[in-house]
Each structure stands twice: as C-alpha cells, then as structure tokens.
Structure 1
Amino acid sequence: MTNPHSNHWDIFCAVVDNYGDIGVTWRLSKQLALEYQLPIVLWVDDLKSFAHILPALDPALGSQTLEGVTINQWNTPLDLDYTPGAVLIEAFACELPESVKATAKASSEPPLWINLEYLSAEDWVDGCHGLPSFQGGGINKYFYMPGFSAASGGLICEKSLFDERDAWQADSANKLNLFKSLGLSGIEDDDKVISLFSYETLALGGLCDLWSQSSTPVHLLVPKGRSLSSLASYLPKAPADVEPGEQFCHGALSIHILPMTDQAGYDRLLWSADFNIVRGEDSFLRAQWASRPFIWHIYQQEEDYHLVKLEAFMRLYCDNLAPEIADCWKNLNLAFNQQQADAVQQHWQNIESFASPLLAHAKQWPIDALKTTDLATRLVQFVKKSLR
C-alpha cells in the first residue's frame, strides 16, 4: 500500500514498563513504517529504558533513525522542534506537552489527534472506539480502542509474524539453539519449559513447590525483575544479585536467569516455551500470538477492577473450549491473579490433563482473534477515512 499521506505521523510515548507502553508503541511504529512506508516520528521520554528492548538505540542521541522510524528524545520542556504532520498520537493517555498541543491547534492544517488506548476485551470498547472529544481550537481528539471485536481498533500483529512463528516451531533445533545462545544449559528437547514474566505473587511459590516434585524435568526461564522477588526462597542469594545465565535447581525444577532481549528475541522465547506466564499488555498479546497456553497476570487495580478485565478476556478466549477445559483454565488464571498458592497448584494439575486440547485451542486462537485485520491496518484505514 502506498503512503496515503504526504506528511509524517508523530507518536508520543511515556515509558512505564520495558515491555509495556513502549513495547506496544515501538511495535506499532515499526509496522507503520515498514509495512505502510509511513514517515513515523516516535517521541520517547526515557531512551535509556527503551534501549533495553532496542539495543541499537543510543540514549545519548537526541534524534536517530532505526528500522525506518525517527526516534526523538522527549524532554520537558521539549527541546526539539515539533512540526505538525498528518497525525498526532498520544499513546496510553501520556499527556502531550502543552507546546505540542498549542502548536497542533494553531496549525492551518491541524493533525488528526488520536489517543491510543490500552487493549481491553470489555464490551464497552466497541461503543467508545473512534469517538471524538473536542479539545478547543477547532480540533477533536479521537479515542482509538484496540480490541478483539471487528468493531474495535484491532490487535497489533505484523503481517509475517504467524509464518515466522510456524517456521520456528516446526524445527525443535531452533528452540534448543536459542536456549544455548541465552546461556541456558541442561534443557533437553522433551523437557517442559515455562517462561515467566509476571508481577510479584504468592502463587509462584505454590507452582514452584509443585514443579520441584514433578516426575519429569521442568525449566523455568525468568529475567531479572519483579518475578524474581516472588522466587526469593528458591534462590541462594538476593534476587538483585543473580546474574543472567545462572541456574538454580530444586528437585525436578531448574530456574534459569535470562538476559535482557530485544522484542524479536522475546517473541522467539515465547514460541520456544511450552507454557508462558506473562503480564501487562505487550507480553500478554505476544503470548497469544505464540500459540502456546498461558497465564495472564494482569496489572492490579483498585477495587479489583483488573479481575473484571480478566473475566472479559477469559469469556472470549474460552468461547470455543469445552466447558470443563474452559473452567479449568479460568480457575488457574484467577488463582494466580488472586495469589492463591494452594489453589493454583490444584488447577495446574487439573489443566495438565487437558494439555492436548488446550494446545490445539492455543494454536487456533490467533487466527480467530486477528479476524484478518490487524491494528496497524485498521489505524491506517481510520486515518484515511478521517482525513478525507
């Protein structure tokens, strides 16, 4: 598709989590630039954290171009010129600089102003997607709502992703070579491999107790960070002192410490595991695209509203599952999110008896969820329609 606009798009993102807000925004920026040849300018407030998932990025440079995207340092006050283009996107209500808003409103051809919201499976998303909010100065801000329905803003997924995943998973040598490249040892082809990227939870201790008593080897792959805080009793030293490549064994369980990786490397890690435990939004969606069973550790909110969001997604995900399998998977996710160590053990044991049908469902789900049109495509269509 040719570029439908003569001007660039600006995308502003405040870094909240290495694989969270910036993870989603960077994936979208790359896809818009590479698949749609759109001139994208990505403004980021924390280049040092961004560099954790983009090693080629130089945090000392105020402006640089990588993978077709111009990346600008977003300082306060803004010390780089902002020139309005065709589109202005504030990612996840990051609150644009006042100078940017003023310049956009004063432009003779104001940009299409879009607030890219967080992903949700809740029913209200469809009704809010695309709604305008008047900002003064004759300009509206439109709410763009990613979601799982055909009436929503869609889901981020590169056009070649599923083919790349299928080719990777077709040869087990790929995963074994990946583990070796990450400094992990002792993992055999038939061993159970679980990747972990969660918040703190007592449920992890319950699962580790169970896995350590397994009749077959279990390998837990975990990066330094919040997940390790819940595994302190399984480590011979403080979580902050462990190093990538280290391995700690407890019965049948081996805990491997992962090095930081870029986004492509994280995708391959998810493809290589038998089961993934993920958090937030970016890793949550990439775990779905990995076509492997998973637990979603959703970010905790006041009055347990996060459980409402979890329930909404689980209803969608389990729609085509047999009731007994659906209930088992739901109970596992709820127990994990409610820090129920004993209950999560029981539900894990139950779900292992449904391993084959759950894996088959995980493989079909990405095809059903994408509904043939990804977020970037829908966003380009939304912009094209709005700028007529």
Structure 2
Amino acid sequence: MASPSRSQAHLFCTVVDNYGDAGVCLRLARHYARKGAQTTLVIDEPELIDRMMPNWRQEPRLSVQTEAPSLAGSPQPIELTVIEAFQFDAPLDYRVALEQLHASGTTVQRIALDYLATEPWAASHQGLASPDLEVKHAAMEKGHSTNPAGPAATRQWFAPSFYGQGFPMIHDDFIEANSEQRQQMRARLGATQSDDFLVMAFGYPDAPWDELKEAFQSHGLPSGFKQAVFWQPKGLELTQDEFDIALQACDLNFVRGEDSFVRAHWAAASRWQVPFVWQPYRQEGNVHADKLSGWLSKAGEFEPHYKAFTLEFNRLGAGAGLSESWSGVLSAWDQIRAQLSQFGFVYKGRDRPT
C-alpha cells in the first residue's frame, strides 16, 4: 500500500431493506482507514452510520457522505481502491472519471464486492473479470475508446468467503469481552441470574421461536442452566462494538443474514466459545439452502446433531423436528462448542484485505 497520504479507498453502498449491507461496508471502510488509506464511505442513509458507530468521526482517515468523492484536485492519489458493494454501481460520471484518473498515472483497482459466498464454486470465481460495459458504451457515444487495461475493463469480482481465495472477513476490529463487560451486557439483555441460559434470537420473521421454546421445555438446557431468556434485537439498539459484546454475552446465538453470521464466528472463537446457528436470508430458487449447505459442508467435521438442528431450524431438515434435533445437540454440547470455536479461530487467522 502507498503512503497513507497518497492511498485512498472509496466504498459505495446502498441500503436495501435491513442494515446488514451498511454494517459490512462500515466495517470494511474502518478497516481500510486503519490500514492507512484515506477512506470515503458513500452511502444513501448516512444516519445509520451514526447509530452503528457513534464515534466514527474520531477515525482520522474515515469520512462518510452521500455523494461520490471528487476525483479532481491535487495531489492525486498514487493508488485508489474502489469497492462497489452488493451489486450497486457508483455514479456513471464518477466511473468515467476513474478512466481519466488511471490515464494520468494513478493505480486504480475496482472491485465488485458481492454477498457472502459459501458455495464451493466461489473459490474458482474469485478475482474474475467483471467489466463495466456501461463505461465503455458511454465512451463510445462520445467517440472515445476505453483502455483495455483501465479500471472499467479490469474490474474484478470478489465475495467474502470461507474458501482461501475469497475476500476475507473483517475481524481485526472485534473486541473480545472481559468478564465485567460480559456480565454487564448479560444484565442489559435480561439475564439477571447466573443460571439463565441467554439466547440471542436474531432471525427472520419465519424463525421457529415457539418450536424452539417447546424443545427447551421438553428436553431441557445444557448443564448448569435452569431457565432460558430470549433477547430479540429490535432495530439498531446496539452499536457494532456493543453487538460484538452481546454475541459473547449470550450462551447460544441465532444469527441471520451475513454480518451477524460472520461476527458470530469471532464470538465462537473468543474465550467464551459461544455456539451459534445461522439463518440465511430466504431467497427464490432455494438459493439460501445452497448457501447453508455450502457452509455446513465446509465445516465438514461438525457433529451430526448440530447439522441436523441447523437444518431443522431453517425448515430444511429431514423431518425429525426441531425438538428431537435439540435433544441431539444437548448430548454433544461441549463438542459442538469446541468445533465452532476452532472453525472461527481458523478464519481469524486469515490474511486481511489490503
């Protein structure tokens, strides 16, 4: 990476329905800023950033705005990384200006960052060309041509992935909770007794919470716990740092989407070894089932009861039912905690994006 004053990163994000996209982009922007790049996060709802990370203005190299940065002015950066996240293109005039910036000597890397890819095919697709044909057409309309080695032609596709060639998951901002932080958060989330089994119930509307409670009633809880306490996040009631603490304060995390799913790995790898169950975003064509299957297959050594329970929770199981599969989880509770912890630990050792 070039010197901090001459290295820049521009990230483009739009908020679709939930806040996961904004959360991922904020973590990524903070990562680049802390690596030394003057970083701009362009997002259509910047007020979300204030709620997720109220102290973001204390990051000296991070800015948040709604409009694309100007590429004019001096001095020009030596290198510029442009990340267009989750199938959202930067404004066309900005993308055209990138071609001119590249022609003037700046190294421009454009990345089309897609959603988390757990499927095996993702490994062979990382880094493939994803040319921006709209820029080429815009140039042709003006009687110009684009450089075949320019940013539009050489844009690359990446996705966060558990496979080695993927775009690594950000974890260098994860705060490992100490005992006092964990206890304070448990009380804040409603667990006031030492034998409370605190469950993070962060799922989509079709998550089977009633069935889960019935399973707890029928088969009990892990050793040492007497009663279950459910905490269901409502909106952005916690900052990103507080959410990391909350994941470690619970005894079992049910997480949804992508951002909380990745962070649950780091909570599993923490000293608290908190197990988790993932509910992918439901998609047409059963794409969510492929994502879940891809992740469970990657974690091929997982205890079979854990896999069965995860599938039943997502209504993709063989029909044994959530209650019966929970009984199996209880029989292998310590093994499941250890395996999830190891799986998270392996990925905390991955290289960071540069």
Please tell me the TM-score bracket, short chain as reference: 0.7 to 0.9
Aligned in 2, Cα 1:186/1:148: closer, same or farther, shift over 3 Å?
closer
User: How far apart are residue 269 of structure 1 and its match?
Assistant: 0.4
Task: Point out where structure 1 has 5 or more consecutive residues left out of the alignment.
Answer: 58-64, 226-258, 381-388
By how many angstroms is 1:335 displaced?
Answer: 1.5
The 3-state SS of whatever aligns with 1:52 is helix
How far 1:25 moved relative to its partner?
1.0
* Structure 2 gap ranges (5+): 137-145, 269-273
Q: Partner residue of 2:7?
A: 7
Distance, in Å, in 2 between the alignment partners of 1:343 and 1:96 is 46
Alpha-carbon offset, residue 69 of structure 1:
4.2
Shift of 1:54: 2.4
SS in 1 for 2:325: helix
Q: Give the alignment partner of residue 178 of structure 1, picking from 185, 194, 197.
A: 185
For residue 51 of structure 2, give the secondary structure of its aligned residue in structure 1.
coil
Letter aligned with residue 215 of structure 2: L
Q: Secondary structure at the match of 1:277?
A: strand
What is the alpha-carbon distance in structure 1 between the residues aligned to residue 312 and residue 61 of structure 2? 41
Q: 1:278 aligns with which of 255, 262, 270?
A: 255
- Identify which of 253, 266, 275 aligns with 1:293: 275
For 2:51 and 2:323, the matched residues in 1 are separated by: 33
Picking from 310, 314, 324, the partner of 2:292 is 310
2:62 paired residue number: 70
Identity %: 26
Counterpart residue number, 1:145: 159
Contact 1:201 1:339 in 2 (8 A): no
Does 2:110 align with 1:113?
yes
Q: What is the SS of the residue equivalent to 2:255?
A: strand
How far has the Cα of 1:306 moved from its partner? 1.0
Q: Distance in 2 between matches of 1:312 and 1:223?
A: 27
Report the CA distance shift for 1:48/1:212 in structure 2 as closer, same or farther (over 3 A): farther
Taking structure 1 as the reference length, the TM-score comes to 0.74
Conservation of the 8 A alpha-carbon contact between 1:42 and 1:69: no
CA deviations on 1:341-384 (whole Å, 9 max, x unpaired) are 981222122211111111111221122234x323xx3x31xxxx
Structure 1 residue 333: Cα displacement: 1.5
| Residues 1:42 and 2:56 aligned together | no
Contact conserved, 1:201 with 1:336, CA < 8 A, in 2?
A: no
Asked if structure 2 preserves the Cα contact closer than 8 Å seen for 1:112 and 1:141, the reply is: yes
Report the CA distance between 1:94 and its aligned residue. Answer: 1.3
Using the TM superposition, name which of 268-277 and 4-13 deviates more.
4-13
What are the superposed Cα offsets for residues 220-265 of structure 1, whole Å, 9 maximum, x if unpaired?
Answer: 111225xxxxxxxxxxxxxxxxxxxxxxxxxxxxxxxxx7011110
Q: Please give the alpha-carbon distance, in whole angstroms, between the structure 2 residues aligned to 1:198 and 1:25.
A: 21
After TM superposition, the score normalised by the length of structure 2 is: 0.81
* Alignment-derived partner of residue 331 in structure 1: 308
For 2:14, the aligned partner's letter is A
Asked if 1 retains the 8 angstrom alpha-carbon contact of 2:200 and 2:232, the reply is: yes
Tell me the alpha carbon deviations over residues 130-183 of structure 1, each in whole angstroms, 9 at most, x when there is no partner: 11233332222111232112222222210x74xx52x62xx3x43221233x3x
Distance 1:345 1:66 in 2: 48
Q: Distance in 2 between matches of 1:41 and 1:186?
A: 39
SS, match of residue 7 in structure 2: coil
Name which of 84, 92, 96 aligns with 1:98. Answer: 92
Q: Which residue of 2 is the match for residue 88 of structure 1?
A: 82
Q: CA deviation at 1:2?
A: 7.0
1:98-139, CA deviations, whole angstroms, 9 ceiling, x for partnerless residues? 121121123334621111122212122121111123333222
CA contact 1:18–1:53 (8 Å) conserved in 2:
no
The 3 A distance-change label for structure 1 pair 92 and 263 is same
Question: Per the alignment, in what secondary structure is the counterpart of residue 23 of structure 2?
Answer: helix
Looking at structure 1, the residues matched to 240 and 277 of structure 2 have their Cα atoms a distance apart, in angstroms, of 20
Q: 2 CA distance for matches of 1:81 and 1:112?
A: 17
Contact 1:276/1:287 (8 A) holds in 2:
yes
Question: Mapping of 1:339-350 within 5 angstroms?
Answer: 343-350=321-328
CA deviations 1:256-291 (Å, max 9, x no partner) are: xxx701111000000111110001110000011111
Task: Mark the CA change 1:311 to 1:88 in structure 2 (over 3 Å): closer, same or farther.
Answer: same
RMSD: 2.6
1:130 match: 127
Deviation for aligned residue 1:185: 4.5
Cross-structure match for 1:221: 231
Counterpart for residue 230 of structure 1: none
Structure 2 CA distance for partners of 1:153 and 1:205, relative to 1, 3 Å = same
Q: Provide closer, same or farther for how the CA distance between residues 17 and 290 of structure 1 changes in structure 2, counting only shifts above 3 A.
A: farther
Corresponding residue number in structure 1 for 2:194: 189
Paired residues, number: 318
Match of 2:51 in 1: 52
